[in-house]
Amino acid sequence: MRRTNIPEAAIRRLPIYLRVVSELAAADVPIISSAELAERTGLSPEQIRKDLAYFGAFGTRGVGYDTSLLSRRIARILGLHRGVRAALVGVGHLGHALARYSISQHKDIQITALFDTDPEKIGTDVMGVRIQPVSQLVETCRQQGVKIGILTVPASAAQSTAELMKQGGIEAILNFAPAKLKLDGVFIQNIDLTIELQSLAYYTSASEEDPGEGE
């Protein structure tokens, strides 16, 4: 049963811990302390212990965390141990790049379905995954048991496509479209690349205040 009282920020930090402890386990490093984990993640030991405590007891006081065990348990908490299927809609430049990266790098979250409206793209494939027409999205997602959707479509098509995803049984959507989605019962995580880039500009010019600008 999924817990509903876990802060979203804590859940978003779990993959950071997973990456570190998985790499250490693969390198035959058996134990890591919260202080060492903090150094590798940029978070505080207190934050790490608090995040993990939401899901139970993991480490041994004065010793640390078993990297192999913690890796397996975090993967299970996230549901990655069973493999999660994902579908991507909008195989433009961004969608194509995301699909290639995910298919080649991610084994726990598998993009098993690609969709687009462009007749020239339909029927072609990205690393062995065939691009289908959006009209087949609901049926394909239901047949494959897809649970995650990735939206890289224009803003004008985002809401209607998200609704199709929900009809297909998708429970969580990673939305790259610059549009706010309204969809009950589906978790939506928005990533607006334009906003992210524009906010970064602040850090390149924060010290260059224009003396001519004032209230």
What is the maximal distance between C-alpha atoms in the chain? 62
pLDDT score for 208: 56
Does residue 90 share a domain with residue 63?
Answer: no
Residue 209 belongs to a domain: no
Q: 50-64, 103-117, 149-163: lowest mean pLDDT where?
A: 50-64
pLDDT score for 1: 43
Does residue 129 share a domain with residue 47?
Answer: no
Q: What is the pLDDT of residues 118-159, one digit of tens each?
A: 999 999 999 999 999 999 999 999 999 999 999 999 999 999
Rounded Cα–Cα distance for residues 21 and 27 (Å) = 10
Number of domains present in the structure of the chain:
2
Q: What is the CATH number of the domain that holds 38?
A: 1.10.10.10
Residue holding tokens 């920020």? 9
Residue 207 belongs to a domain: no
* Of the candidates 159, 100, 105, the residue with the CA atom closest to the CA atom of residue 126: 100
pLDDT score for 79: 87
pLDDT score for 118: 97
Give the mean pLDDT of the chain. Answer: 90
Does residue 96 share a domain with residue 121?
Answer: yes
Rounded Cα–Cα distance for residues 58 and 129 (Å) = 38
Enclosing domain of residue 28: 8-78
Residue 213 belongs to a domain: no
Query: E-strand spans in 28-144?
Result: 31-32, 65-66, 84-89, 109-116, 125-126, 129-133
Q: What's the burial of 151, exposed, middle or buried (CB within 10 Å: 0-12/13-18/19+)?
A: buried
pLDDT band at 80 (very low <50, low <70, confident <90, very high): confident
Residue 45 belongs to a domain: yes
* 196 Cβ neighbours under 8 A, 6+ residues apart: none
CA 8, 41, 88, 179 torsion-angle sign: positive
Q: 20-34, 90-104, 188-202: lowest mean pLDDT where?
A: 188-202
pTM above 0.85, yes or no: no
| 98 has a pLDDT exceeding 70 | yes
Per-residue CA distances from 75 to 24, 78, 135, 172 (Å): 15, 5, 34, 17
